[in-house]
Amino acid sequence: MTTALITGASSGLGAEYARQLAARGVHLVLVARGESALRALADELETKHRIAAEVLPADLLDPADLATVVARLSDDARPVATLINNAGYGLPLEFERNDIEDEVRHLRLHDEVAMRLMHAALQGMLARGEGRIMNVASVAAFIPRSTYSAAKRWLVVFSTWANDRYAPRGVTVTAVCPGYTHTKFHERLGLPPGEEGVPSWMWLTARTVVAQSLRDAVRGRAVSIPSVRYRLLARLARILPARITARIGERGR
């Protein structure tokens, strides 16, 4: 039985990745700031699927906590076969009004933290000749949307390069690019459910996003865009003028 380490595992896509992997018999290392939520999830999955779920409370923007997670990924005695970089959050689109330190923390979590965890995981994965890394980005990576798009675009570009570089050595890297997905992401931005200004047909479920992205990762795809409608939107965004795609990106949060 293999082990997967998931960041941002206490809710949303992270918790759904944990549930679907546990159902496949995968052991888990659950990482997030909320220890009580992690322990409740770990107890649920251990009881239901008879797997081992390790709880690793950590604020990934705290250097000491981040070092703890890096050390766990580097532990050859307890190898991690799959790393899922899922931790993240959004900020208001008004960059000029946002606190610059909030913007810096936002960039660090999405890109620097993910980069450090990938670097740590790759050492053992490449030595063993197998492994899987999944970076939860966003379809916003293809649509101008303040610093959120910029941060997610980095994940897509790096994952595309890394997959080509390391797949021949047994390690695949996949950027997961969902569209609007029903989680608590938007509520954390202060938007009650139903007030995001996004048509109902554009919403995806966490279960669908996770299931499709896991299939794409198994197939070794560098980029996974769950749902046909968002794959079409990403293609269309490549040919539309930036001023139009930027207006599309202003919908919702």
pLDDT in tens, 69-103: 999 999 999 999 999 999 999 998 899 999 999 99
Residue 169: per-residue pLDDT: 98
Query: Which one of 17, 48, 152, 166 is the catalytic residue?
Result: 152
| Three-class SS state of 54 | strand
Question: Quick check: is 89 catalytic?
Answer: no
| Three-class SS state of 175 | strand
Query: Which one of 17, 148, 180, 230 is the catalytic residue?
Result: 148
Question: Quick check: is 230 catalytic?
Answer: no
Residue 189: per-residue pLDDT: 46
Domains and CATH numbers, the chain: 3-249 (3.40.50.720)
Residue 252: per-residue pLDDT: 47
Q: Return the C-alpha torsion angle 75, 76, 80, 83, nearest 10.
A: 60
Q: Return the C-alpha torsion angle 8, 14, 15, 17, nearest 10.
A: -150
For the stretch 2-11, pLDDT in tens is: 999 999 999 9
pLDDT < 70 positions in the chain: 1, 183-202, 234, 236-237, 239-253
